[in-house]
């Protein structure tokens, strides 16, 4: 799974673009799709979503691409591995994806395309982020 992290990490600081699928512009689903693609796994893609992807079946499409979640609800950090894909909610409904990474300063991090930051970012996976996780997916290469 570290290959997924390495593929995503190569695009930290790439520009955010809604429905972006690379190689220089990504949204949160696009960076996940791209990382698997670079590693030789072509996931079913889902691009026909608006600003609130949960309304367009995001959970259903992520499950079709990555399989059943290995965890539903807030996980404990020891349940996560680098390369896991997180479905997260900032308000009520899950609508954001991130990849778990081994954080350079120790512990776990996350890589995701952040529309507010306008780019792909990597940072520590803090308790506030753990509380936002609704589903954890683990699809081996």
Mean pLDDT of 84-99: 92
Q: pLDDT tens-digit profile of 109-130?
A: 999 999 999 999 999 999 999 9
Q: What is the pTM of this model?
A: 0.94
Q: What is the pLDDT of residue 47?
A: 74
Q: pLDDT tens-digit profile of 35-83?
A: 999 999 999 987 767 666 656 678 889 999 999 999 999 999 999 999 9
We report the CATH number of the domain holding residue 77 as 3.90.1720.10
What domain count does the chain have?
A: 1
Give the 3-state secondary structure of residue 62.
helix
Question: Which residues lie closer than 8 Å to 13 by C-beta, 6 or more apart?
Answer: 119, 120, 121
Domain of residue 31: give its range. 2-137
- Tokens 């609704």 correspond to 134
């Amino acid at each position: 799974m570290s290959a997924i992290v390495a593929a995503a990490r190569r695009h930290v600081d790439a520009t955010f673009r809604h429905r972006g699928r690379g190689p220089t512009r990504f949204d949160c689903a696009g960076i996940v799709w791209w990382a698997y693609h670079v590693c030789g796994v072509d996931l079913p893609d889902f691009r026909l979503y608006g600003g609130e992807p949960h309304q367009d079946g995001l959970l259903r499409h992520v499950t079709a691409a990555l399989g059943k979640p290995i965890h539903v609800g807030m996980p404990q950090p020891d349940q996560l591995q680098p390369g896991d894909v997180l479905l997260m909610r900032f308000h009520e409904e899950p609508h954001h994806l991130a990849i778990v990474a081994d954080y350079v300063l120790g512990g776990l991090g996350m890589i995701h395309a952040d529309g507010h930051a306008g780019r792909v970012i990597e940072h520590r996976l803090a308790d506030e982020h753990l509380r936002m996780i609704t589903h954890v997916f683990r699809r081996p290469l």
